[in-house]
Amino acid sequence: MELAKKAGITQKALGEFELGKRQITARANDKLRRFFDEQKIQFIAANVESSHLEGTGVRWKPSQPNSGIKTI
């Protein structure tokens, strides 16, 4: 509930996005990404040769970016 409020989207919408009941809108996606960026949270993926993202996760954004990790 706190994430939705702080990101500026409704709790209902966030729940439906999480459960796959509806597609996330570009506007909601932008709001969530902006919130995570403000919190210094970074989405990461393992380096692989294909475009498929493997080993995706999150981490605190480091002060010195690590060139060995793909960010998304």
Give dist(CA 36, CA 44) in Å, integer. Answer: 13
Instruction: Note if the pTM is more than 0.75.
Output: no
The model's pLDDT over 2-19, given as tens digits with 9 standing for 90+, comes to: 999 999 999 999 999 999
* Cβ(70)–Cβ(46) below 8 Å: yes
Quick count: other Cβ atoms within 10 Å of Cβ 28? Answer: 19
Write down the pLDDT at residue 49. 65
The model's pLDDT over 21-39, given as tens digits with 9 standing for 90+, comes to: 999 999 999 999 999 999 9
